[in-house]
Amino acid sequence: MSASFDVPEESAAAVAVPAKAFWPSVWEALRGTRQDFTEGPIGRAILLLAVPMVLEMVLESVFALVDVFWVSRLGADAVATVGLTESMLALIYALAMGVSMAAAAMVARRIGEKNPDGAAQAAVQAIALGVVLSIPIGASGIALAPKLLALVGGSPSLVQSGWHYTAVVLGANGIVLLLFLMNAIFRGAGDAFISMRVLWLANIINLILDPCLIFGLGPFPRLGVTGAAVATATGRGIGVLCQLAVLASGRGRVVIRREHLRLYPSVMWRLLRISGNGILQSVIGTASWLGLVRILSAFGSAAIAGYTIAIRMIVFAILPSWGMSNAAATMVGQNLGAQKPERGERAVWIAGFYNMLFLGAVELVFVLVPQSLVGFFTSDPQVAPLAADCLRLVSLGFVFYAYGMVLSQAFNGAGDTFTPTLMNLFCFWVWEIPLAYILSHRTGFGPRGVFLSITTAFSMLAVIAALLFRRGRWKLKKV
């Protein structure tokens, strides 16, 4: 089975970037590059794409940790409010990720074909679709926030104190959708440095506003946990405005001009067809977190708070790995467009190998010293042990998941969103949710049973993805 994760022998020479070229390549990746990713050394191409993507995700994960750091000062109910709301927001992320998968695949394919007008057309259709999807979600989220918070397991006192946070987060979902979509457009085009800069700006603003609005520092009102939602909406809203300015200015590979500002039925149909599976894929995967939170809610706010803190810390490790995965997806899409599928395949295995080395090191730290890491965020004697158990148990599957992330994104980069959808359905709903309930409620493991189910599900996903990727049917996908 381990052979499924080996870097192919013929690509071994492409794995390493020469030391003398490493730092110049990093600097080039950060300032922006016009590298043609369908030509030249594969290792260098992955590096140029992955460095800004990883750094983009690093700050995103730093924000997630800092956000829960400040909110945890308000007590377990506040942290649980964030955790329960994020379990609902996961469905919005699923929409954003689904359309983003399709947009990135289409843009990458058009760039690989040397068709910039086609890339711009795909970008406009994706942005229009994001706006249409966000309006009913935002209206429903604002109107039904208290009921939704109770539905996912919030106690009456938690709903009373936290529903304003939920209303702001769900009401501003359009900002999240557009931020995801346009950054996917930049990444698919190979302009990962633009995505990085936009997200850094958005999250730096967010980080500054967080304590000001939560605790009422200086001239800012004291909004409590709701202040964290307002800070997020403000920072990311500014990021969206910057994205639109870049797309209109011609500073990237995708340039939206006046003639592109209309709907193209054929392009929209292809986008909808691909994004439909992408949305379903993400809904299946992320909605499973709703199921896990609902199972955990039976054990009280302490269990939800411990789970929320640990998952935020795990996100700190996994988000940079998404940068490596997105780099592999861009390589697949652009090289399929350039009629070079074997080059795309080699890039995926190399990216998976890099990701395994990184997440393997993170796993070692999380397994050995989880209590010390959790101690930075909570000293609550009920919350801290559960957070440490979650951190240790879930991270046991990191080495497998390193490949699972890259391989799943490679399918999406090829426009084959159906295969990962089936994998998510089997691993998360047929396997993970029933196992979580059995282990936590029937065998006496309690919350730890939920944590173990996550580990086994993601490990299984990695093995299945490797077997299906080797079959090579994704190379025949038309976008």
Q: Which of 49, 22, 29, 82 is nearest to 344 (CA)?
A: 49
Tell me the C-alpha distance between 314 and 307, whole Å: 10
Distance of alpha carbon 155 from alpha carbon 71, whole angstroms: 18
What are the pLDDT digits (tens) for 429-454?
A: 999 999 999 999 999 899 999 999 99
Q: How many CB atoms lie within 10 A of CB 9?
A: 7
> pTM value?
0.81
Q: How far does CA 157 lie from the centroid of its chain? A: 31
pLDDT band at 213, cuts 50/70/90? Answer: very high
Predicted local distance difference test score (pLDDT) of residue 34: 75
Residue position matching structure tokens 């397991």: 153
The tens digit of pLDDT for each residue in 316-349 reads: 778 788 889 999 999 999 999 999 999 999 999 9
Residue 142, Cβ density class (10 Å: 0-12 exposed, 13-18 middle, ≥19 buried): middle
Look at residue 264 and tell me whether its pLDDT is greater than 90. no
Overall domain count for the chain: 1
pLDDT band at 16 (very low <50, low <70, confident <90, very high): low
Other Cβ atoms closer than 10 A to 177: 27
User: Percentages helix, strand, coil for the chain, rounded to the nearest 5?
Assistant: 85, 0, 15
Report whether 382 contacts 415 (CB < 8 A).
no
Amino acid at residue number 156: P
- Write out the residue range of the structural domain in which residue 305 sits: 2-476
